[in-house]
Amino acid sequence: MDRSKTSASRLAPLRRADIPPAGANPLRRASGTGAVLGAVLDHGPVARSTIARLTGLSPASVSGHCGALLDRGLVREGPETAGPRGLGRPFIPVEIDTSRFLVAGAHIAVPHVTLSLMDLTGRIVAEERRPHEGTEPGRVLARVAAGLPRLLAAHGSGRTALALGVATGHWVDPEAGTVVHHPQLGWRGVPVRDELARATGVPVHLDSHSRALARAEQLFGDAGTRGSAVVLFVGNVVDAAFVTAGAVHQGPRFGAGNVAHLPVGTASARACCTCGTAGCLESEVSEPAMVRRASERGLPVTRFAELLDLAVGGDPVATELFRQRARLTGRAAAVLLDMFDPEVLVVVEPGTGRLPACMDELRAEVEARSLVCDDAARSVVPSSFTGSVLATAGAAVALGALHDDPLGPWPALPAVS
């Protein structure tokens, strides 16, 4: 998906007829102040009267919530303006204030950490990738803590980081702030939130990368994900996130989304998964599996990024490997569509984001196998953040927490009066 088109559509001026009645769409934010902040994110600069219609809140409530957000420096007022073509009473619109605060992000992948800074509209301000120098938890987290102030000093333009969001794959407990189990990193029960909060001095929020990207889609990506969606992440780790009735589902043990062992391979599949079965989704489509297949086909690559570059450049062997990956991913997507019947299934996989033929292959597989999906072109879409997925994931954890509780205890923000 073209991110610029998404943003332009979201920020286009509204006509009264364009505004759905309150309640027509599932609310994705529980608090009134969060709902107002979300409406400003979607439509700002926007009149308070329009916010009232969008959220179903009374004009007096909207004014109060806007006042609180103004006091905290999260929104600002624009110049007074009139309605379309000068009609209507002049009004003072409100918009997200990007001049004072940022959120920081860290995505912990199998081979590296991606650090990022994001403004309060969801725009990535800066990012850098740091290969691991060993995957021991203390060593990885120390490098995150050391890199954050340097990134902020170089690219923050004097703005303050409200919080650090951290995302990674596999089993993550956001309530306890721990990585419960990440087999590729060898992590089990790692208290990421507490360790980084002590090291950085800022609030830290942690979640799985799939749930983080689902939240990012809801906040500033594909609007179709706000009610119900599946986000399928295909990288070194393969997992998923589920949105139901506007909320990202976590499960009572925060383990929702483990789809790595869905059987998608053929009877002749040679790659054996860690679960002991040949043909599991992760063993067939993960980045290490792709690099192994490329080597078997004689391609001189040792890293997944090199293989992707070859495919984007038109190499026929590399391209066919990505098309095969898309077909296998399509098998899993068809199962997930039939199990959950979501409004949208978002595929977070670089081949489908950068190679149109791969998305065509994936959708064709879905249409051939799914019983409920009758329009794969509409129901199956690439990530809104192709090219910045990892940078977006970590920071979106922090930005999502801000939208969930904008009046909460954020140390960098002025106290609520």
Q: Could you report the per-residue pLDDT of 208-254, keeping only the tens digit for each?
A: 999 999 999 999 999 999 999 999 999 999 999 999 999 999 999 99
Task: Tell me the CA distances in angstroms from 153 to 99, 113, 157, 336, one per residue in order.
Answer: 15, 19, 7, 43
Specify the 3-state DSSP secondary structure of 36.
Answer: helix
Residue whose structure tokens are 């068809």: 334
By C-alpha distance, which of 60, 66, 149 is closest to 104?
Answer: 149
Dihedral angle computed from the Cα positions of residues 283, 284, 290 and 291, in that order, rounded to the nearest 10 degrees: 40
Q: So what's the pLDDT on residue 277?
A: 72
Residue 281 contacts residue 269 (beta carbons within 8 Å): no
Q: What ranges in 107-208 are assigned the alpha helix state H?
A: 137-155, 192-200
CA distance 400 to 380: 24
**What's the pTM value of the predicted model, to 2 decimals?**
0.90
**383 Rama class: left (phi>0) / alpha (psi -120 to 50) / beta:** beta
pLDDT score at 98 = 98
Give the three-state DSSP class for 294. Answer: helix
Continuous segment of H or E residues that includes residue 404: helix 389-404
User: Backbone phi, then psi, for 67, in 5-degree steps?
Assistant: -60, -45
Name the strand (E) or helix (H) holding 296: helix 287-296
- CB-based burial label for 63 (10 Å; 0-12, 13-18, 19+): middle
Residue type, 190: V
Q: Which neighbouring-strand residues pair with 239?
A: 233
For the chain, which ranges sit under pLDDT 70?
1-30, 82-88, 266-276
Q: Where are the beta strands (DSSP E) in 349-402?
A: 380-382
Tokens of 272: 């054996």
The Cα–Cα gap between 94 and 211 comes to 29
